[in-house]
Structure 1
Amino acid sequence: MSNDTAFKVFKLSASGYCCTQIMLKMALDEEGTENDDLLRSAGGLCKGIGGRQRTCGILTGGVMILGLYAGRGKEEESQKDNYGDMVSEFIDWFESEFESMDCADIIGVARIDDGDNSFMLKCGDIIIKSFEKTVQILYENGYEFGARDEYQKCI
């Protein structure tokens, strides 16, 4: 999946999507749906929440993907029993894999908007690894990635 994912990441980044939006857009594209409101709202998580380079937008994007499958959306819905465990697994993996949860620590740039764009390649690699890990966690927990609506109807 890495080559295909790498191309998608490059294409979405070149289109102006940020890391959080790229994670979500790839998940939505996989199931053939669109959600402009979700992508707009995710924009506030870009560059480490509001551009402050704190909690990495890739991390929040992965957690949001897990929420699309196992979180609560409607009043009559309940969060799935395995949601918290999946989120914890992803956060633990992310922090171990990248040695931090903060954007500034991970990319090693003092200010994203200081003109040094060398971090973008590193972010692309992190998006690919994190997206694949998110998909893996979903599969390991009985979810069929890309078939969210069908799964939710079965529960």
Structure 2
Amino acid sequence: MNIKKEVSIKKISNDAENLFRGGFFCSEALLSSIRSNFELDIPEEIIGMASGFPIGIGRSKCLCGAVAGGVMALGLFFGRTKQGDCKVEKTLELSKELHDWFKEANGKNALCCRILTKEFDMASGAHKEQCIRYTGMVAGKVAEIIVRELNLVNTDSLLTV
């Protein structure tokens, strides 16, 4: 897979947030941002694969859709396509890293949408800004992992003061 060698993690995070604001849900926005910023030569249908994950997998309020989309994105880069391929171990390790990081970073020690949004009236959309923020956070962390693991360049670190 051809990928862009230099990316801005901040831009990936901001793009994911803006895509959510523009009409995508969390998992879709995350995958779309990763796909476009890394200039992945994969079809847009990959975004459609994420359409069932929002609001805790099909509105069941289980696993946070941003995290589900993040794990899908990690699978794009590090996942296996053949049985017996030991690449799966690296994918599992990186997915756990994302899981553990988000559980701590969100300040609620949870990955369950039901817990993350319990203080909000979901029908009114009061949760949306928090979910947009979480989507940006997760997109940024996924990009950070990809950049680190593939020895790519984060152009944010090239900016001088």
TM-score (norm. length: structure 2): 0.75
Q: Could you tell me how far apart the structure 2 residues matched to 1:38 and 1:2 are?
A: 21
Corresponding residue number in structure 1 for 2:76: 68
Report the 3-state secondary structure (helix = DSSP H, G, I; strand = E; otherwise coil) of the residue aligned with 1:42: coil
Aligned residues: 143
For residues 86 and 63 of structure 1, do their structure 2 counterparts lie closer, same or farther at Cα, with a shift above 3 Å needed? Answer: same
Q: Return closer, same or farther for 1:104/1:93 CA change in 2, 3 Å cut-off.
A: same
| Partner residue, 1:22 | 29
Q: 2:125 aligns with which of 97, 105, 117?
A: 117
Which structure 1 segments of 5+ residues have no match? 147-155
Measured in 1, the distance between the counterparts of 2:13 and 2:50 equals 21
TM-superposed CA distance for 1:83, in Å, is 1.6
Q: Structure 2 residue aligned with 1:78, among 69, 85, 89?
A: 85
Structure with larger RCO (C-alpha < 8 A, sep 6+): 2
Match runs of 1:3-152 below 5 Å: 4-5=11-12, 7-33=14-40, 35-73=43-81, 75=82, 78=85, 80=87, 81-98=89-106, 99-108=109-118, 112=122, 114=123, 116-144=124-152
Specify every segment of 5 or more residues in structure 2 that has no aligned partner in the other structure, as ranges.
1-7, 155-161
Decide whether the 8 Å contact of 2:53 with 2:68 is kept in 1.
Answer: yes
The one-letter code of the counterpart of 2:55 is K
The 1:95–1:30 alpha-carbon spacing in structure 2 relative to 1, beyond 3 Å, is same
1:150 matched to which residue of 2?
A: none
Structure with greater helix share of residues: 1
Q: Say which SS state the counterpart of residue 58 (structure 2) adopts.
A: coil
In 2, Cα distance between equivalents of 1:31 and 1:38? 14
C-alpha separation in 1, matches of 2:9 and 2:93: 25
- Mapped partners of 2:98, 2:48: distance in 1: 23
Shift of 1:129: 1.3
Secondary structure of the residue that 1:44 maps to in structure 2? Answer: coil
Aligned-residue offset at 1:38:
1.7
Root-mean-square deviation over aligned CA pairs:
2.6
CA distance in structure 2 between the partners assigned to 1:106 and 1:88 by the alignment: 19
Does the CA-based 8 Å contact 1:6-1:124 persist in structure 2? no
Residue 104 of structure 1 deviates from its aligned partner by: 1.6
Q: Determine the C-alpha separation between the residues in 2 that align with 1:16 and 1:131.
A: 17
